[in-house]
Amino acid sequence: LGVVGAGIRLLAETCVERVLALAERDPPRVMVVDSIQTLYTDLLQSAPGSVSQVRETAAQLVRFAKRADTAVFLVGHVTKEGALAGPRVLEHMVDTVLYFEGESGGTFRLVRAIKNRFGAVNELGVFAMGDRGLREVKNPSAIFLARHDQPVPGSLVMVTREGTRPLLIEVQALVDESPLANPRRVALGLDQNRLSMLLAVLHRHGGVAMFNQDVFVNVVGGVRIGETAADLPVLLAVLSSYRDRPLPLDLVAFGEVGLSGEVRPVPNGPDRLREAVKHGIRRAIVPAGNVPKEGVEGLEILAVKTLAAAIDGV
């Protein structure tokens, strides 16, 4: 990694009192504990990784961090579902919970802040993993938009927002006739229950039934989208695949779809539109409440209030 002589000191120790004794002697600027589940304190008799040991060792490290003005990173295990393993008390003791995400075979890694005591919430850092370690990706939208040369059915760009950063991401959908009595609904990077709800709205208010179709939706790049701005692009991508009609490459969409078929505005609409123009987008289908009064230069905006109007627009 090229860190020889970079002032990094390593300590193979699991007793927190011995770790802190050395750290008190020469306080570091940054201290990384890998992992908190392996540390123990002599004050307790329970095994390392138990609730009491994790709570006490973390509390001692937090007190040291505040007293010595040292940034302390506590590496913790996660479950198969991606949640913090062991007691949730650890999550409440720290200032920030950072999740290091990414496919094991993929190039890109995401650092996501889930909970902050100080500063912004839900910031996202994008990094590329190489043979020299992690490298910051300055323009992640350009990477997530590495698309086809020609328009293909079931592909559409949406503008999501991670913290303060608008991010352009491709949403892909595949609709195929199902041989099963209960067709499959598979969502990667999205909430599967919300996909089922959106398909019901598409049937009721868009006049398109999917009860005999398998529906697969994927967010390209391994990004997970938790906001409702993905509702409209997901439905348009599903409809594009179902009708086998490609959507233009320079089209973007975002918006929340309600159960009564209305398209609701989402936060920071003008910022999303300006970010889209920077990446060559020329058309946008967005909620009427997100359209700036002065418009956006170089962008043709279709303002919609209902799902039916959005379907007619494409």
**Residue 210: C-alpha distances to residues 229, 246, 309 (Å):** 22, 19, 19
**Residues 9, 26: Cα–Cα separation, whole Å:** 11
Q: 143-313 maps to which CATH number?
A: 3.30.230.10
User: How many whole angstroms from its chain centre is CA 204?
Assistant: 30
3-state class (DSSP) for residue 133: strand
Q: Which CATH superfamily is domain 16-139 in?
A: P-loop containing nucleotide triphosphate hydrolases (3.40.50.300)
Residues 6+ apart with CB under 8 A from 21: none
Distance CA 217, CA 238 (A): 8
Alpha-carbon gap, residue 258 to 289, rounded angstroms: 14
Q: Are 139 and 167 in contact (CB under 8 A)?
A: no
Note the residue count of the chain. 314
Q: SS3 for 67?
A: helix
User: Got the DSSP string for 197-256?
Assistant: HHHHHHHHHH----TTEEEEEEETTS----SGGGHHHHHHHHHHHHHT-PPPTTEEE--E
- The pairs formed by 140-147 with CB atoms below 8 angstroms and a separation of 24 or more are 140/108, 140/167, 141/166, 141/167, 141/168, 141/169, 141/275, 141/279, 142/279, 143/108, 143/221, 144/168, 144/169, 144/170, 144/220, 144/221, 144/223, 145/169, 145/170, 145/279, 147/249
- Averages of pLDDT over runs of 10 residues in the chain (314 residues) are 81 95 93 92 89 91 94 85 68 86 74 75 76 82 68 92 80 93 92 94 93 93 86 96 93 95 93 88 93 88 94 87
Q: Which residues pair with 301 in a beta bridge?
A: 284
Interatomic CA distance for residues 199 and 217, integer angstroms:
12
Which amino acid, residue 264? R
For the chain, the structural domain boundaries read 16-139, 143-313
* Distance between CA atoms of residues 115 and 95, nearest Å: 8
Strands (DSSP E) contained in 61-103 are 71-75, 96-101
pTM exceeds 0.85 for this model: no
* Contact between residue 264 and residue 257 where contact means Cβ atoms under 8 Å apart: yes
Measured between alpha carbons, how far is 76 from 93 in angstroms, rounded to an integer? 13
- At position 53, the amino acid (one-letter code) is Q
- Which residues contact residue 75 at a Cβ distance below 8 angstroms, ignoring those fewer than 6 apart? 32, 33, 34, 35, 36
φ, ψ dihedrals at 124, nearest 5°: -135, 130
Q: Which pLDDT does position 220 carry in this prediction?
A: 86
Sorted by sequence, the CB contacts under 8 Å of residue 184 that are 6+ apart come out as: 178, 214, 215, 216
